[in-house]
Each structure stands twice: as C-alpha cells, then as structure tokens.
Amino acid sequence: MDFTLTPAVVRVLQVFLADPDAPRYGMQLMNEARVSSGTLYPALARLERAGWITGENEDIDPAEAGRPARRYYTMTRDGARAAHRELTELSERSRPPARTPGWLPGAGAEGA
C-alpha cells in the first residue's frame, strides 16, 4: 500500500466496499463519504495508482445531457480484498484491550 489510511480514505473505502461492483462518481462519493473535493480527488488518484479502483470517463454529449461528463470509479477485486484486509487490520490495531484497568468499572481518578 503506497498511501496512508486517513479517516477520509477509510470513509471512501467503506462506501466502495458497501457495493464494490457499483460505479460511483465524485459528487456521489463526496456525499456518501462526507469528504470535500480537495480530500476526495487526491485519495481517488492514490487508490487508482494502487490498483484498488479504476476510473472511466462517462461517454455522453455534455450539451445533450445538460451537464459535464462524469468520471466513474469502480473498485477492483484486488482492491476490495486489499481494502477489506487493511480496514480489518486497522480495526484490530485500534481496538482497546479487553481487560485494561482503565476500562474497568470503578477504575479511575474517582476510584483511586
């Protein structure tokens, strides 16, 4: 992996993993992942370079459609596996120990 799993990248990956075969475009990803365009597009570029997603420009006539063509991104099978693995490992690293004195009832400053 040649990028960092920032909270924004984690949210983008979660959107893709909800349905890895579904193509998504920028505004849709910004809304679903709750990230700004300044955060989203660099993340998409890194994910695309890593082979986790592919991007394809929509084949429309912008004048006829009344809007610019979109770029659709789809998660690759390898990307889905890698994202799932990385997010699982991140979850394991982030999980507090099951039996830490600070997490036990009554253990704290008031119980000292």
CATH number of the structural domain spanning residue 68: 1.10.10.10
**Structural domain of residue 29, as residue ranges?**
7-94
Count of domains observed in the chain: 1
pLDDT at 92: 85
pLDDT at 103 over 70: no
| Distance (Å, whole) CA 58 – CA 45 | 17
108, part of any domain: no
Counting beta carbons within 10 angstroms of the beta carbon of residue 104, is it exposed (0 to 12), middle (13 to 18) or buried (19 or more)?
exposed
Band (pLDDT 50/70/90 cuts) for residue 95 is: confident
Q: Kindly report, residue by residue over 11-55, the tens digit of the pLDDT.
A: 999 999 999 999 999 999 999 999 999 999 999 999 999 999 999
Residue 109, pLDDT above cutoff 60: no
Q: Is 22 a member of any domain? A: yes
Determine, yes or no, domain membership for 87.
yes
Tell how strand 53-57 and strand 24-25 pair up. Answer: unpaired
Task: Please state whether the predicted TM-score (pTM) of the whole model is above 0.85.
Answer: no
